[in-house]
Structure formats: structure tokens, C-alpha cells
């Protein structure tokens, strides 16, 4: 939708026939004879400047959209095709006149769903890519962060899995601690309690992980780390629009109350002292998630 903001100007009237109608169009059709195309027609009577059409999937809707476009409306719509150029073939398949396609179609942009690496067998790419991977990665100039492997749960494909939906509903936590032993303990405790855990061994790695994966529900952050301290990480997280609202639970070895007050003041949502007491740790994590509404 961000591209659509480019069309905005004060006084612009935009109306849409969106997904809700798409989902219920069959039912509507039987009861009230309201179709996607008839809804679109009634919207056009209100003479909007811009019309969003959720999906063009029949000739009737396509023709109303074409008509709207011919009469000076900006029509933004989606349709199913294999690629952007395929939009033209799709319109002709639907039965739209080629001349009308030529006069009304201004552009087509392809969007496709990205496959996700299976969460059960995906491996972090540490160091360089293999000889097989390199030719795939180099044309894009990007170093992949995760490698698809294949396991029983994803049918050896390395992609997706039956319980991707479960994975999505399980809170994904980012655990940041430079001490591998402490990190291992915290991870074991969290995983035992049903959380998905990703780890970072220092502040820079944490920021990188947050940047590449927006689905973290909470960050567990050690305060005393070399190079970038937890407080610096916290400040950076709070400054970024993408992570400003991310709940952060800080781990502190300090016993000074004023340090903890200061951390809360700097944007921590909760804190817990090391060494970790598992039950208390999990309770704090759950409380912070609850407050954040996840």
C-alpha cells in the first residue's frame, strides 16, 4: 500500500471495493444480486478520483474497471497472472478488447509471496557460502543469512512446514547475551516454555537480526556486553521506527536499584537480575508480552 501514498493529494476522493466483498460476493450474489461488478458500478456513480478494485477476476468487473479508466478515473486493481507482463494475457483471456487494454493499462507490477525457510531445519549461514550457493547469491550482491536444509516436517523441501501457522503464533524472542553459557541457559528455559528463540552474541548482531526479521515479539537483552552495551542497543532500538514498540526485558547483573530505574527510564519494559531464576524469568517474559498485547 505504501506506493499508493504517492497518489495522494488533498481533496482526493478514493473509494474501494475490497476483500470483504470478494469473500462474501458469492453469498451476496445469491441473496441480493449484489456482485463485485455491481458494487463497483454503484461506487463509480459517486464519481471518485481513484478506485481500488480488490481483484479483477471476471469480464464484468474487468469491463467496469476499463470503463472507469476510460472516463478519467485512476483504477488500481489486482489480478492473478504469472508475472507482470502476464497481466495483458490475463485481460485478453477474460475477454477484454485489446484496443481497450492498450488505451487503459498504464502499468503492471508483479508481487509474489516469498517462501520462508523451514523453522525446524533452517541453518544460520556462518562465514561464507558454499561453492553451490555462491553462484546463486552473488548476482544479487547479498549474503544470505539462512540456509534451507530439509527435514521430515517440511517434506525435505527446506521451505515452509505444516506448522508454519503454529510457528507464527508462537512468540518469537530475540535473546542477546555475549556469554554463551548464560545464553544457553536462558534459551533452554524459554524453549521449554514454548517460545521460539533466536540468539545474538552481541549488540551489533542483535540490531542486524532485528533489521532482517520484523516478527520478534520481545527481546531479552543483557546489559553488560563488550563493544556495544545493552543500554546502547536499547537506545538504538527505541530510536528506530521499526523497533520502537518492541518489548525489551533486560538482564542485569547489577544489584543497584538506581541502575534498574534508569534502564526502565531508557525504555526497558522489564528487568530481571542474573543469575536467572527460571520461573521468575518466564513470568517476566510472559507479563511483558501480555502488556504488549501479543
Q: Is 146 in the site for Zn ion (CB under 5 A)?
A: no
Q: Using CB under 5 A, which of the segments 83-91, 146-154, 177-185, 202-210 binds Zn ion? A: 146-154
Q: Using CB under 5 A, which of the segments 69-77, 153-161, 180-188, 202-210 binds Zn ion? A: 153-161
Cα separations in angstroms, 40 against 1, 32, 37: 20, 15, 5
Q: Using CB under 5 A, which of the segments 3-11, 52-60, 61-69, 149-157 binds Zn ion? A: 149-157
Q: Is 151 in the site for Zn ion (CB under 5 A)?
A: yes
Q: Is 120 in the site for Zn ion (CB under 5 A)?
A: yes
Q: Is 81 in the site for Zn ion (CB under 5 A)?
A: no
CB atoms within 10 A of CB 80: 10
Measured from the CB of residue 145, what is the shortest distance to Zn ion in angstroms? 17
How many of the chain's residues bind Zn ion (CB under 5 A)?
5
- Name residue, grid cell 527510564: 265
Distance CA 12, CA 45 (A): 16
Among 62, 118, 174, 268, binds Zn ion (CB under 5 A): 118
List, as own/partner pairs, every contact residues 274-282 make where C-beta atoms lie below 8 angstroms and the sequence separation is at least 24, other chains included: 274/182, 275/182, 276/182, 276/185, 276/186, 276/189, 276/251, 278/189, 281/186, 281/189, 282/189, 282/190, 282/193
Q: Using CB under 5 A, which of the segments 43-51, 145-153, 206-214, 259-267 binds Zn ion? A: 145-153
Interface ranges with Zn ion (CB under 5 A): 118, 120-121, 151, 154
Amino acid at each position: 500500500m505504501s506506493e499508493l501514498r504517492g497518489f495522494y493529494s488533498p481533496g482526493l476522493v478514493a473509494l474501494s471495493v475490497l476483500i470483504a466483498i470478494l469473500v462474501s460476493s458469492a453469498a451476496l450474489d445469491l441473496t441480493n444480486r449484489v456482485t463485485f461488478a455491481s458494487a463497483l458500478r454503484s461506487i463509480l456513480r459517486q464519481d471518485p478520483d481513484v478506485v481500488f478494485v480488490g481483484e479483477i477476476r471476471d469480464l464484468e468487473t474487468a469491463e467496469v474497471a476499463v470503463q472507469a479508466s476510460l472516463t478519467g478515473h485512476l483504477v488500481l486493481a489486482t489480478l492473478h497472472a504469472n508475472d507482470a507482463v502476464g497481466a495483458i494475457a490475463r485481460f485478453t483471456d477474460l475477454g477484454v478488447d485489446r484496443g481497450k487494454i492498450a488505451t487503459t493499462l498504464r502499468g503492471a507490477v508483479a508481487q509474489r509471496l516469498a517462501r520462508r525457510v523451514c523453522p525446524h531445519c533452517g541453518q544460520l549461514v556462518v562465514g561464507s557460502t558454499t561453492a553451490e550457493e555462491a553462484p546463486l547469491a552473488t548476482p544479487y550482491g547479498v549474503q544470505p543469512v539462512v540456509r534451507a536444509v530439509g527435514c521430515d516436517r517440511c517434506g525435505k523441501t527446506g521451505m515452509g512446514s505444516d506448522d508454519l501457522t503454529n510457528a507464527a503464533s508462537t512468540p518469537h524472542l530475540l535473546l542477546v547475551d555475549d556469554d554463551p553459557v548464560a545464553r544457553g541457559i536462558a534459551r533452554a528455559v524459554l524453549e521449554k516454555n514454548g517460545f521460539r528463540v533466536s540468539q545474538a552474541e552481541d549488540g551489533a548482531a542483535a540490531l542486524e537480526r532485528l533489521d532482517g526479521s520484523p516478527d520478534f515479539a520481545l527481546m531479552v537483552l543483557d546489559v553488560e556486553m563488550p563493544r556495544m552495551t545493552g543500554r546502547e542497543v536499547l537506545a538504538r532500538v527505541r530510536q528506530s521506527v521499526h523497533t520502537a514498540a518492541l518489548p525489551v526485558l533486560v538482564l542485569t547483573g547489577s544489584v543497584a536499584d538506581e541502575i534498574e530505574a534508569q534502564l526502565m527510564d531508557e525504555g526497558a519494559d522489564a528487568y530481571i537480575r542474573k543469575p536467572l531464576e527460571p520461573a521468575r524469568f518466564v513470568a517476566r517474559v510472559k507479563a511483558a508480552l501480555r502488556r504488549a498485547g501479543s
